[in-house]
Amino acid sequence: MRDLVSVDWLAEHSGEGDLVVVDASMAPPGSDEPLPVDGIPGAVRFDIEGAMSRSDETDGLGPVGVHDMLAPHEFERALRAIGIRTGDRVVAYDAAGMFSSARAWWMLRAAGIDAAVLDGGLPAWVAAGHPLAPVAGDLGREGDVTVAWDASAFVDADATAAALATGEAAVLDARSPSRFTGAEPDPREGVRAGHMPGARSLHYAAIAPSGRLLPPEELAARLRDAAGERPIIASCGSGVTAAVLALAATLTGREAAVYDGSWSEWGRRDSGRPVATGAGRPAERETPQPPILLTDSR
């Protein structure tokens, strides 16, 4: 299965026994917008805000990001809880078209599961005249999937800082230009406005206008303009829309990783990480804190 599928492809293959559709919809930060009750028939909820993330938790290594990836054994347990089985192919979509579905795809891909994103998401499904049905909490069966973890899919703050210092990888920020420059305050309490010094802005919506990804040749050009030919580390507010950049990189044959904690971790007032605003002038460094590392299992 390709990493990106169309509504026509999904409609054609819907009902195949090994095909699972997950609704990975989530509200933008600072929004109380409710999740849609109805979605693509047969879809099961992939709860990025809850069971599928280590949201608002801490561990022995210090604060974690808002949507940090679960440890492999925890993710395996969460996938089994919704009924994912060995050999399943998973298509992820969201209610915005292309917002959080790529995060679900990246998580599944990192776990060794055959996964794809539905281009255009739920709006494209509805526009094509297909029916809706209530989204289920699980598939009504016991899952048995085994996670085969790809440790290179996610990087931490230290690896991102090293890339910024050496230039060996390009750090691309998927947030809006106004959040990148610091003109707009961060929607999360206790998080500074601005960006990582040396990062480049590439708004996820610029490569997925109206919820659909640009053609591959245009994606390749946008990525080349932003990153040259270097590997890409994608960042955003909390590691969600960064996966849209990772999807674009994958579709164009480029090496990519997602900075899991993203700005919700780096931009914390107590992170000790430098912040730039506007054209990238670094702000004064906060009081240094111990480095935030990922455990071997993550």
Q: Which residues are catalytic?
A: 236
Buried/exposed 5-31: b ≥16 CB within 10 Å, e otherwise: bbbebbeeeeeeeebbbbbbbbeebee
Report H helices in 47-153. 72-82, 101-110, 121-127
User: Is the Cβ–Cβ distance between 273 and 289 less than 8 Å?
Assistant: no
End-to-end CA gap in the chain: 26
What is the Cα gyration radius of the chain?
A: 18
3-class state of residue 204 by DSSP = helix
User: What amino acid occupies position 119?
Assistant: D
Tokens 């996966």 belong to: 243
Structure tokens at 72: 């492999």
Any idea what DSSP says for residue 191? B
Residue 212 parent element (H or E): none
Considering only CA atoms, which of 191, 208, 187, 173 is closest in space to residue 280? Answer: 173
Query: Which residue has tokens 């990888």?
Result: 169
> How is residue 19 written in tokens?
């095909």
CA 188, distance to chain mean position in Å, is 17
Q: Which residues pair with 38 in a beta bridge?
A: 134
Q: SS3 of 37, please?
A: coil
